[in-house]
Structure 1
Amino acid sequence: TPSIGQTDKPQAEQSKELQTLIQELERNEALYRNLKLNLQMVYEQSPGQVDSDKRARQKSELTLIVQGDKYRQEKLTTGRFQQGFLYPTNKPYNRFSSGTTESSAVFDGETLRKFYRYDRTPGLTDEERQQGGHGDISGEQKCMENLFRPHMLLCEHEVRVPLSTWLKGRDAIAASPGWPNYNDGWSYKVQLLGEEEIQGLNCIKIRIEKFHMNGKLTSKTILWLARDRNLIPAQAVFYQPPRSKEIPQCEAWVDEWQEVRPGVWFPRKFHKDRLNWIIYRLKNKQQVGWRKKYQVESIELDPLLPEDTFTKLKFPKGLEVSPRDVENK
């Protein structure tokens, strides 16, 4: 559907319209400020392009809990992982490994507790099974993943802030929690591109461009914000102009919606496709390099939570935790 020519409007008029949209986004984002989410993610490399025993495939179970700036994230992944080596090896090695990875991150507004561990088949064929990991307790504030924010679910490759903050530009992003070393040399340009119908939904189409300090365009994202779905994007397309201005590097869609409360919506299923850039350069053929498919198993707004939800993390037995003098509670 052709978009309405809103880019021809005077800059002052468009700026006023953008500010109105940002305010409306902030009101909708507040509906999801306290959230508990369980979802499943399936990752496939080269889906449908090669035999199943020749591609990486993993299944992840995720639990996400957020309360304002506090959050808890738990992830367990099982499947086949692709392996590679930074330097060539003369020994035989496995192209894929199988096993599990587990990670957790808990932030209470001041202290971040996190760990990562893995258990998988070896890389080199004469190695023992690979097991390891690490834990950490610090005052660092790690930016929340975009999966915590329904308005940023489709924007995996973008800055990890609320969509309303992203539209405000560099200064607002730099002032966000978790961005102490933000590079102030970057700048953003946001344009409203009118309205389009996507999957039967009336959407506001916007374009967000990111520029390097030398003025060069480095990325471009186009979003379709669904009016009847609390302005959550129904579709997102990501470009990297240094590679191609016409061919998207990543595309994402909401496949199915659910109404959590009267008038409050959330995606039930969504997926993301990433272009195989090597195949495109070598064969001039557009082919999906990897696909991530998400399904929401359960969602709860304003959940009742135990008091220690954001303060307690049980580290796996035997895992080294830094700093070592911090007692594991």
Structure 2
Amino acid sequence: EERRGKGSTGRKSEGELSAEEKLRRAEARIRLLEAENELLKKLEALERQTNKTLSSPERFQLIDLVLRKHGLKRVTRYLCQIAEVSSSGYYRWCSAEGRRQIREEADERDFLLIKEHFETRKGRAGVLVIKMRLERMNGVVMNHKKIRRLMQKFKLVTLIRKANPYRKMAKATQEHRTCPNLLKRQFDQGIPEKVLLTDITYLRYGTGQWAYLSCVKDGATKQILAHYLSSTLELSLVKRTLDLLIKRLDGNVHPDAIFHSDQGMHYTHLTTRRLIAEAGFKQSMSRKGNCWDNASMESFFGHMKDELEYKDCVSLQELRQRVNEYVTYYNSERYQWTLKKMTPDEIRNHLIAA
């Protein structure tokens, strides 16, 4: 009988099904729900474990695993919708099974070569070291990206030096903290001892010895208010310079005095920051990697290294004496064009008188 257009599909209604057919449908529905639930759980667990969104091939593999496990048919498109991938992409992935198998076998052969050199170096061979050893010892030219991919795939982790935990501890405890740039390159504000610039420079002398000079410079008068030379870069280098500065000022600290430096560990350390605050200074720091924010201090170091004969010194005491003599000369005798042709000491007296 022709049934088109008569409102019936020709399928049996729920009431016309036998008990066996109803049971079969119920079992199929249960298998589908179990497959759907398992697929969603696996997707969520893997993404949480890897902390990233799974790629399409990884999703295809999960769909294939679920279909085989539950023996489902004609639900591939539905599972692809759940996994948010295209069904056509899944079928292409299935058709490439042979090529994947060939690649897997090739990866395993290459991995055995990589593993041999990895174990020879007792787990201390990185990607580039393995690449060089493969070329020299086995005559195998393998791209370093492939070596890295295979090492990640087969969980080969190179033993490297552990990171210094002090940095993490310092960050967690806020032991080293930077300050905003309050100065903004306004070095000369016309008031003596209001802008205090500081930095550390390296001096190589004698037969390769190193010395470290810490200075504090007045931004307005360009005087060197305090300096200290040391053979080490310990925190005490800055502390002693600050002590000399405080002794030089003798309690006459400008209420808006700014102590400006770079972001070196000597100046971000909690001890130094506390000393600066107790002295009554507002601490300011240059932006990271920007030497121009402390250009006036850098300029002094440049002139000093051009004019001071220090490389032939044979001892730290001799170098310290020459640095002291140069600072005295710089403050009292060295005329500067930008200071109205006066010395730093003369411009200070001039500003105070004005």
For normalisation by structure 1, the TM-score amounts to 0.22
Bigger Rg, which one? 2
